[in-house]
């Protein structure tokens, strides 16, 4: 890469900040309007339409670029106005749109737009196949996941050649970006729409881990990112744009950051062999830090030195844990005058292992999901050897078997997915459920029947149409929709599946509390405590958020209650739901068998025009004493 092509990209939330970062040496500025961007919580920030017009002229006169954040997930009621806004931005002559929702790719085509599209970090791009998929669909630059290593960034650049933007400084989430739904499940405030209540910045106690102690700590509080000393290595890896986070920061502070990074980049541009950092600038960055600094995953997985459990430098944030909604007996209502319908209802069940699968062969399940993420604690997940036993026993001849790929696929993990797909194809297993664009591209290219899972964040009919146009047979509704928005997608006639029962994974993190908190040092070998017992984070109300770990040592942090939409099946059925999913991978055999029977009978009765299920609903509550919830689809509070 030519070092003269290196870009320093700065944020601005107000006009004064834009002027300051431009004067401090930013090559480009990214900002949002008063609509359709992720930073709308503070009314004094963001740019009016007139200010956007003036900002384009102001920056272009200085030969600087302007990128606009259109980086939310959107709902169907917003699409018409969003289309007009996109046309307005193209007319202004902005230099790029930063996007998260795949519906915008479809709108971009339909409207005949030419303004470049940059894939937001919210898309969670972690492998070369995902990047290739977006490039094939008109995206000219990708902002890669902050969870990647330097080697993985380099690998993606070598394999794709696309422009790579990377965050160099600012806030970090403990969860993989774009896959955190905890805030929305708790409070109907979606982090994927910029209104996160930040449960990762709350105090918890760590339960079930020997040696962790009983004192509350900030077990999910990631330190801030600072890669000032590693710009040379990132340039060598193929990064062409260095992004500073902080559109809600004051202009003076942002200008200070821009000056420090401008100076460092100019030194590298002038002398590409100069790999030394300016010690004075490094010290100034340290003095003016908000939180302590980390290099995130650049040189290894998130470890204890990247998380500030003490919370000593954690800024005040005005939210605290909330008492959570749990389904009660009174949530059930009998319903009369249900329309008789002969359209078949399909039930899909995710199972933990061969023993569970064998026990359910005659349970009325239409499709079985075998999860390839492999959760350690519960022996819940599948590898090739276990899937081979399914074939040996001929179960795939009497039931549809779908292998589900993980929600997170980073770096070389995509090669594991490709090997899996080749292995499946050789054994005539033809259906997969994918949760990222990389696995999706591979599966489609190899001729599989492909469905989309919850990891694809389907929030509107435009995104559904984009995924269907790309080749997906069936798509899964986002876990963040309320019923009215879900209804719009179900009534569109598209083949939409939804999770109606099972655990709700709120976050996926590279940080392992079970190991790192007790080890205290990266030099201490892992003792596999995560496999020894169940453990959880407990908030100040005593509500436990269970944690599991997968084969790649990622942590899955769950909502305290499992999803249970049984009392709302009449509404869902009337809205057009015909594809139901139960995630049963953590249930005992008999518990899962009875749960399936209750849902199967309920849906059969609905097809016959009947709904008197109070006794069965009470049985379901007894079957799941840990508690059930209908959030976020049904419940109090809507964003």
pLDDT given for residue 1 in this prediction: 45
Q: Which two tokens stand for residue 27?
A: 């090559």
Cα first-last separation, the chain: 44
Instruction: Count how many domains the chain has.
Output: 3
Same domain as 431, residue 495: yes
| Co-location of 425 and 439 in the same domain | yes
- The whole-number pLDDT of residue 377 equals 76
Q: What is the mean pLDDT of residues 29-36?
A: 96
Q: Which residues, 6+ apart, have CB-to-CB distance to 330 below 8 Å?
A: none
500 and 511: one domain?
Answer: no
How high is the pLDDT of residue 586? 94
Same domain for 400 and 530, yes or no, is no
Tokens (6 digits) for 81: 């106005």
The CA dihedral of 70, 125, 244, 228, to the nearest 10 degrees, is: -170
Q: How many CB atoms lie within 10 A of CB 311?
A: 16
Identify which of 400, 468, 475 has the alpha carbon closest to the alpha carbon of residue 430: 400
Domain check: are 119 and 209 in the same one? no
3-state secondary structure (DSSP) of residue 632: coil
Using CA of residue 374, residue 380, residue 381, residue 387, what is the dihedral sign? positive
Residues 133-151: pLDDT tens digits?
A: 999 999 999 999 999 999 9
Instruction: Report, as an integer, the average pLDDT of 397-426.
Output: 96
Give the SS3 label for residue 404. Answer: strand
Spell 16-38 as b/e; 16+ CB within 10 A means b: ebbbbbbebbbbbbbbbbebbbb
Average pLDDT over residues 369-377: 89
Instruction: Specify whether 210 is located in the same domain as 240.
Output: no
Instruction: Write out pLDDT tens, residues 459-502.
Output: 999 999 999 999 999 999 999 999 999 999 999 999 999 999 99
Look up the domain containing 401 and give its range. 344-504+563-628
**Residue 198, domain member (yes or no):** yes
**329 inside domain:** no
Angle at 156 between CA 151 and CA 161, to 5 degrees: 130
Encoded tokens for 333: 């209502």
Backbone angles phi, psi at 224, to 5 degrees: -85, 150
Both tokens of residue 427? 């054994």
Distance CA 255, CA 260 (A): 9
For the residues 173-186, what does the mean pLDDT come to? 96
Model pLDDT for residues 222-238, shown as the tens digit of each residue: 999 999 999 999 999 99
Question: What are 174's two structure tokens?
Answer: 């403990």
Average pLDDT over the chain reads: 94
Last residue of a domain, one of 545, 560, 575: 560
Beta carbons within 8 Å of 105's beta carbon, 6+ residues apart: 99, 117, 134, 137, 138, 139, 466
* The domain boundary residue, chosen from 539, 560, 581: 560
On whether residue 338 sits in a domain, the answer given is no
Question: Is residue 433 within 8 Å of residue 403, measured between CB atoms?
Answer: yes
Is residue 636 included in any domain, yes or no?
Answer: no
Considering the domain boundaries, does residue 207 fall inside one?
yes
Peptide bond before 632: cis, by omega within 30 degrees of 0?
A: yes
Flag whether 152 is in a domain. Answer: yes
CATH of the domain at 613: 3.20.20.70
633-638 contacts at long range (C-beta below 8 A, 24 or more positions apart): 633/481, 633/482, 633/483, 633/486, 633/565, 633/568, 634/482, 634/483, 634/565, 634/568, 635/188, 635/325, 636/188, 636/325, 637/187, 637/188, 638/188, 638/482
- Do 551 and 446 have their domain in common? no
Report the pLDDT value the prediction gives residue 126, as an integer from 0 to 100.
98
Q: Are residues 25 and 107 in the same domain?
A: yes
Location of structure tokens 């102001």: 58
Helix (H, G, I), strand (E, B) or coil at 484: helix
Q: Are residues 99 and 11 in the same domain?
A: yes
Name the band, by pLDDT with cuts 50, 70 and 90, for residue 639.
Answer: low
60 shares a domain with 16: yes
Alpha-carbon distance 192 to 255, whole Å?
Answer: 27
The number of angstroms, rounded, from the C-alpha of 23 to the middle of its chain's C-alpha atoms is: 35
Q: Give the integer Cα–Cα distance in Å for 127 and 410.
A: 5
pLDDT above 60: residue 404: yes
536 near 547, Cβ under 8 Å? yes
| DSSP code string of 543-559 | -EEEEEEBTT--EEEE-
pLDDT of residue 192: 94
Q: What is the rounded CA–CA span in Å between residue 347 and residue 359?
A: 16
Rounded distance, CA 454 to CA 192, Å?
Answer: 13
Who has greater pLDDT, 398 or 390? 390
Q: Is the pLDDT of residue 66 over 70?
A: yes
Higher pLDDT, residue 327 or 529: 327
CA distance 149 to 312: 27
335 inside domain: no
Q: Is residue 333 part of a domain?
A: no
For residues 264 and 400, state if they share a domain. no
Other beta carbons within 10 angstroms of residue 143's beta carbon come to: 24
User: Taking a C-beta distance cutoff of 8 angstroms, is the pair 538, 545 a contact?
Assistant: yes
Distance CA 44, CA 21 (A): 18
pLDDT at 379 over 80: no
**Section 239-253 average pLDDT:** 97
CA torsion, points 106, 109, 115, 117, in degrees to nearest 10? 30
Q: Which residues contact 42 (CB under 8 A, 6 or more apart)?
A: 13, 248
Same domain, 13 and 95: yes
């Amino acid at each position: 890469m030519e070092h003269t092509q290196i870009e320093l990209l700065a944020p601005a939330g107000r006009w004064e900040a834009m002027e300051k970062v431009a004067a401090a040496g930013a090559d480009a500025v990214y900002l949002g309007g008063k609509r359709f961007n992720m930073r709308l919580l503070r009314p004094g920030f963001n740019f009016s339409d007139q200010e956007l017009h003036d900002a384009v002229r102001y920056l272009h006169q200085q030969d600087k670029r302007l990128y606009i954040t259109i980086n939310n997930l959107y709902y169907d009621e917003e699409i018409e106005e969003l289309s007009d806004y996109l046309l307005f931005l193209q007319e202004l002559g902005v230099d790029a749109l930063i996007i998260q929702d795949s519906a915008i790719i479809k709108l971009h085509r339909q409207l005949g737009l030419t303004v470049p599209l940059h894939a937001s970090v919210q898309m969670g791009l972690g492998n070369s196949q995902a990047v290739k998929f977006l490039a094939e669909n008109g995206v000219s630059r990708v902002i890669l996941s902050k969870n990647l290593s330097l080697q993985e960034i380099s690998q993606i650049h070598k394999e794709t050649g696309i422009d790579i933007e990377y965050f160099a400084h600012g806030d970090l989430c403990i969860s993989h970006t774009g896959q955190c739904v905890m805030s929305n499940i708790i409070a109907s405030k979606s982090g994927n729409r910029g209104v996160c209540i930040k449960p990762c910045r709350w105090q918890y106690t760590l339960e079930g881990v020997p040696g962790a102690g009983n004192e509350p700590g900030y077990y999910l509080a990631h330190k801030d990112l600072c890669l000032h000393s590693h710009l040379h290595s990132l340039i060598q890896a193929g990064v062409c744009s260095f992004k500073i986070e902080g559109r809600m920061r004051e202009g003076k502070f942002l200008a200070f950051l821009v000056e420090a990074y401008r100076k460092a980049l100019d030194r590298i541009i002038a002398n590409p062999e100069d790999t030394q950092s300016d010690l004075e600038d490094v010290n100034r960055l340290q003095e003016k830090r908000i939180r302590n600094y980390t290099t995130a995953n650049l040189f290894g997985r998130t470890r204890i030195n990247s998380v500030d459990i003490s919370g000593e430098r954690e800024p005040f944030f005005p939210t605290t844990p909330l008492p959570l909604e749990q389904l009660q007996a009174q949530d059930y209502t009998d319903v009369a005058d249900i329309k008789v319908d002969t359209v078949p209802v399909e039930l899909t069940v995710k199972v933990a292992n061969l023993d569970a699968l064998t026990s359910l062969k005659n349970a009325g399940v239409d499709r079985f999901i075998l999860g390839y993420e492999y959760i350690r604690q519960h022996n819940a997940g599948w590898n090739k050897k276990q899937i081979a036993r399914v074939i040996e026993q001929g179960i795939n001849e009497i039931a549809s078997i779908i292998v589900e790929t993980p929600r997170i696929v980073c770096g070389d993990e995509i090669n594991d997915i490709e090997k899996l797909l080749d292995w499946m194809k050789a054994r005539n297993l033809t259906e997969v459920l994918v949760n990222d664009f990389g696995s999706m591209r591979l599966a489609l290219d190899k001729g599989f029947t492909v469905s989309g899972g919850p990891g694809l964040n389907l929030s509107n009919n435009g995104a559904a149409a984009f995924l269907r146009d790309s080749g997906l047979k069936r798509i899964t509704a986002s876990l963040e929709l309320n019923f009215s928005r879900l209804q719009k997608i179900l009534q569109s006639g598209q083949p939409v599946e939804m999770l109606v029962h099972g655990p709700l994974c709120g976050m996926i993190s590279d940080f392992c509390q079970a190991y790192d908190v007790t080890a205290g040092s990266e030099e201490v070998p892992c003792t596999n405590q995560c496999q020894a017992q169940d453990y959880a984070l407990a908030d100040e109300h005593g509500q436990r958020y269970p944690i599991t770990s997968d084969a790649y040592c990622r942590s899955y942090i769950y909502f305290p209650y499992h999803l249970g939409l049984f009392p709302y099946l009449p509404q869902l059925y009337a809205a057009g739901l015909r594809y139901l999913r139960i995630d049963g991978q953590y249930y005992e055999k008999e518990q899962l068998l009875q749960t399936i029977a209750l849902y199967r009978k309920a849906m059969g009765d609905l097809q016959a025009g009947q709904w008197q299920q109070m006794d069965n609903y009470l049985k379901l509550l007894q079957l799941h004493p840990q508690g059930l919830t209908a959030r976020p689809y049904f419940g109090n509070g809507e964003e």
